[in-house]
Structure 1
Amino acid sequence: MRIAFSSNAYLKHTFDETAGRIAAIGYDGLELLADVPHAWPAGLLEVQKQGIRDAMARTGLAFSNVNCFMMNAVADPRQPYWYPSFIDADRHYRQVRIDHTRRALSLCAELGAPHVTTEPGGPLEPGQSRQAAVDLFVEVLKPLAEHAERCGVLLLIEPEPGLLLETTDQYEEVADKVDAPSLGLNFDVGHAFCVGEDIPRAIARMARQIRHYHLEDIAATRVHHHLVPGTGAIDFAEVVGAIRGTGYDGWLTVELYPFQDDPDGAARRALEVLRPLVAPAVGA
């Protein structure tokens, strides 16, 4: 397993500077934010894509993932950093999310990254039944999964508290209906803790579908607010042990977007906690 850091904590920095800082702290990889100011796909010029490649080559970092969950560029007044959703009542708003995801999948392939992570369907709209929302989500996902397959990358859904898919069981319901080899699960450990999942059990049960992990800590209250690993209630030794027990050898990406005022400090403290837990697997 290798540890990466998400660039979504570095919204106050250029991508070039972000890559340099993450590499200097000692991470193996970087999760690229497909959003402003780093890589908003709708407005990304070829020279900017090459700049991203050059920065990654210069720092020796590898891509762990492309994060297309967040959409600060849209600045939707309902929720400025990730709306609109796949199940938005307004079809034009839904199309914004669909188009962004399609562009992010294409960008992922162009840059040689393995997959993108995206939102699990927004909260239910007024008067919308859960079944209608699930059906709409499946309808939207099928052509995106086909596009991912054509691009040779994966589309990973990330369950989140308060949204349509909160748990691994709910993810499975949708994945079974989409039935596409390019669809997978991004297992966010903090999110799973928030909704009360038995994390080791869920990791073991979902091992074949989990293609990437997000790591952050959460307070004992289970309120959804990302904390630096080691400062909340999650037992990361147990979590990493459970992941290792499945034979997973991919990326663990630390996601600490609330720490934009001191991303270096948060990244450094997280690595101090996680590196000793992951290190025994190196060379195994």
Structure 2
Amino acid sequence: MKLAFSTNAFKKYSLQDSIKEIAKIGYKGVEILCDVPHAYPPDFGDDKAWQLKDVISSHGMQISNLNAFTLYAIVGGGDVYHPSWIEQDEHSRQVRVQHTIDCVQLAKKLGAKNLSTEPGGPIPSNRDSNKLEKVFLETLVPASKAAEEEGIKLLIEPEPGLLIENSSQFKRFIKNVNSDYVKLNFDISHFYCVNEDPAKLVYELVDYIEHFHLADIENRVHNHLIPGRGEIDFHSVFAAMEDIGYEGFVTVELYPYQDSPVQAAQEAYSHLCSIIESIR
């Protein structure tokens, strides 16, 4: 496994400066935020894509993932989840679809293998989750077809409080997806927050895993902490990943640390490297 860091902690830095700082620490991969202020596709043309590829390769790095979860460019910085895949309004759903297709095309330009997206969005109090799951499945089709055409994996990321938040819901959903290009972004902290054992889930979900996210958690409250400051047993999770032969990226996602992203990335790297070395 290889460590990467997400640029969503570096929103106060330019994208190129973010990559330089992440590389200096020692990370071999970088996850690109496909939103403002970094790589929102409508504002990120071919010239910027080629420049980004050059910067990444010049620092001996790879793209671990494109993060297509948020759409602050559309709704503003205070709204994490909208527009989602399950909006009641058809136009809002199509905004999510088009954004995802745009991110698939950007992934192709950049040579990225996968991108992650939200697991349906928040559930309105007056709507049935089973019906919303069908809406999600239908809305996902054009994006999954675009992913298949470009050879890019589209990764669903279960999250606490959203339509798909645990492993059982994900497994039920994925069985109804008619595409080999829709897989799982396994967020260790999210599964821990919903009272699941991430180490055990590595084995249960092995057929779907394409990429990992991580942050630490305390008291199972969804607040991303620097690894080592919470209570997740990363040693057992990494041991399970090693056991299944996972050789991809594990991306550290610490967006709450935007005032001190370099220090957060450094502390996380040191802590996680010591764990990885101990299991090899």
| Pairwise TM-score range, normalised by the shorter structure | over 0.9
Q: Is the 8 A contact 1:76 1:83 kept in 2?
A: no
Q: Name the SS of the counterpart of 1:226 in structure 2.
A: strand
Aligned letter for 1:255? E
Q: In the aligned structure 2, how far is the partner of 1:60 from the partner of 1:271?
A: 17
Structure 1 counterpart of 2:137: 138
Q: Name the SS of the counterpart of 2:32 in structure 1.
A: strand
Q: In the aligned structure 1, how far is the partner of 2:27 from the partner of 2:13?
A: 17
Aligned letter for 1:131? N
Q: Name the SS of the counterpart of 1:185 in structure 2.
A: strand
Q: In the aligned structure 1, how far is the partner of 2:256 from the partner of 2:268?
A: 14
1:32-71 paired onto structure 2 within 5 Å: 32-71=32-71
Q: Name the SS of the counterpart of 1:200 in structure 2.
A: helix
Structure 2 counterpart of 1:209: 208
Q: Is the 8 A contact 1:88 1:125 kept in 2?
A: no
Q: Name the SS of the counterpart of 2:222 in structure 1.
A: coil
Q: Deviations over 1:86-114 (max 9, x none)?
A: 00111111111111011001111110001
Structure 2 counterpart of 1:92: 91
Q: Deviations over 1:31-81 (max 9, x none)?
A: 01111111001221221112211211221110000000022211358x523
Q: Name the SS of the counterpart of 2:212 in structure 1.
A: strand
Structure 2 counterpart of 1:11: 11
Of 248, 270, 273, the residue aligned with 1:272 is 270
Q: How many residues align?
A: 280
Q: Is the 8 A contact 1:74 1:80 kept in 2?
A: no
Q: In the aligned structure 1, how far is the partner of 2:91 from the partner of 2:17?
A: 35
What are structure 1's unaligned runs of at least 5 residues? Answer: none
Structure 2 counterpart of 1:229: 227
Q: Deviations over 1:103-156 (max 9, x none)?
A: 001111110001000000111124211111000000011221111010111000
Aligned letter for 2:277? A
Aligned letter for 1:164? L
Q: Name the SS of the counterpart of 1:60 in structure 2.
A: coil
Q: In the aligned structure 2, how far is the partner of 1:54 from the partner of 1:82?
A: 32
Aligned letter for 1:259? Y
Q: In the aligned structure 1, how far is the partner of 2:93 from the partner of 2:124?
A: 12
Q: In the aligned structure 2, how far is the partner of 1:57 from the partner of 1:276?
A: 26
Give, in angstroms, the shift of residue 82 of structure 1.
Answer: 3.7
Q: Is the 8 A contact 1:4 1:253 kept in 2?
A: yes
Q: Percentage identity across aligned positions?
A: 40
Structure 1 counterpart of 2:260: 262
TM-score normalized by structure 1? 0.95
Aligned letter for 1:141? L
Q: Deviations over 1:210-237 (max 9, x none)?
A: 1100010001x21100000000010111
Q: Is the 8 A contact 2:71 2:82 kept in 1?
A: yes
Q: In the aligned structure 2, how far is the partner of 1:71 from the partner of 1:127?
A: 24
1:149 aligns with 2:144: no
Q: In the aligned structure 1, how far is the partner of 2:69 from the partner of 2:183?
A: 15
Aligned letter for 1:138? L
Give, in angstroms, the shift of residue 275 of structure 1.
Answer: 0.8
Q: Deviations over 1:221-267 (max 9, x none)?
A: 21100000000010111111111111111110000011000000100
Q: In the aligned structure 2, how far is the partner of 1:225 from the partner of 1:83?
A: 19
Q: In the aligned structure 1, how far is the partner of 2:142 from the partner of 2:196?
A: 30
What are structure 2's unaligned runs of at least 5 residues? Answer: none
Aligned letter for 2:234? F
Aligned letter for 2:140? L
Give, in angstroms, the shift of residue 273 of structure 1.
Answer: 0.7
Structure 2 counterpart of 1:115: 114
Structure 1 counterpart of 2:194: 195
Deviates further, 53-62 or 29-38: 53-62
Q: In the aligned structure 2, how far is the partner of 1:232 from the partner of 1:162?
A: 20
Q: Name the SS of the counterpart of 1:64 in structure 2.
A: strand
1:20-39 paired onto structure 2 within 5 Å: 20-39=20-39
Structure 1 counterpart of 2:248: 250
Structure 1 counterpart of 2:100: 101
Structure 1 counterpart of 2:161: 162
Aligned letter for 2:22? I
